[in-house]
Structure 1
């Protein structure tokens, strides 16, 4: 098996990180979580879903930071197709940071308080507050998902990107020689 040219590797790594992040986001949020709530009791399903969303939050933050850094490197190398993708990544990162690192801790605290009171969150005094936080969190998750689908849709085609990058590098080199 022949190794890919070095110039293709950053593009392939970008694509891999994108599909891992968006694929896990869509799978957990729209396939796994609904199955949990139809298969298990609400308390167990909520506990498992919370763990899965915790993993998804960390995965999203890591992939988002790596993608943003990689997009910046690619843009500096002349792959301008990644310029607008950075905004989608920033939007997704904001959603994951707000959803997981700002809203989830409050939701978990409410869930724990309800369990300590001897009931599930849906039947506790905290039900309304939890419902509002859950709704806001779901909205951020939906926005992150839509931005993720747009990111996958707008991913540059492989070979054309390398050619454009090489042309950009050649132009930069010619400009430096002429100037």
Structure 2
């Protein structure tokens, strides 16, 4: 396998996991801390999380393809494969399940804010589920970074 494909792998894993960590644990809290309008902060953070989700989908497709080209069917025995698969599933659940559901709740609340309606509890519950899923992905990202390093050392 070419060195270029290995370099692309490293760059994509770094971009994906780095974006998750920086947006989720630096940028989003800063937005909520600095902007007086929580709705605006939430909308900006939501857009950034969506971008991170698309980066994750693209990166995971590349990583899984890389593993299959490099390892063939043995990819299924690779810890990196299962970490990426879990992260991809979590990303897809968030991107195409949870986030659209939360957006629909916001739209249904209009012209009021969702937190000022009877949907507050339901929205808060889904936001909590989304946050836990993101935390799990972030921890898996650590294993992905370390596993990628180990994979390429072989």
User: Displacement of 1:10 after TM fit?
Assistant: 2.1
- 1:21 maps to 2:16: yes
Q: 1:159 to 1:68 in 2, by over 3 A?
A: closer
* 1:104-136 deviation line (CA, Å, top 9, x unaligned): 00001111222x2x3222221110110111111
Residue equivalent to 2:124: 131
Distance in structure 2 (CA, Å) of the matches to 1:160 and 1:38: 42
Residue equivalent to 2:97: 102
User: Displacement of 1:149 after TM fit?
Assistant: 0.8
Residue equivalent to 1:168: none
Residue equivalent to 1:60: 56
SS at match of 1:119: coil
User: Displacement of 1:157 after TM fit?
Assistant: 5.0
What is the total number of aligned residue pairs between the two structures? 152
Distance in structure 1 (CA, Å) of the matches to 2:113 and 2:153: 54
Deviation >4 Å, runs of 4+ = none
Instruction: Tell me if structure 1 keeps the 8 A contact 2:6–2:152.
Output: no
User: Displacement of 1:158 after TM fit?
Assistant: 8.3
- 1:49 maps to 2:45: yes
5 Å-filtered alignment, 1:135-154, equals: 135-154=128-147
Instruction: Tell me if structure 1 keeps the 8 A contact 2:31–2:45.
Output: yes
Instruction: Tell me if structure 2 keeps the 8 A contact 1:24–1:56.
Output: yes
Instruction: Tell me if structure 2 keeps the 8 A contact 1:25–1:56.
Output: yes
TM-score between both structures, scaled by the size of structure 2 = 0.90
**Structure 2: 5+ residue stretches without partners:** none
User: Displacement of 1:62 after TM fit?
Assistant: 1.1
The RMSD of aligned alpha carbons is 2.1
Distance in structure 1 (CA, Å) of the matches to 2:144 and 2:151: 15
Instruction: Tell me if structure 1 keeps the 8 A contact 2:79–2:147.
Output: no
User: Displacement of 1:159 after TM fit?
Assistant: 7.3
Instruction: Tell me if structure 2 keeps the 8 A contact 1:8–1:158.
Output: no
Distance in structure 2 (CA, Å) of the matches to 1:47 and 1:20: 22
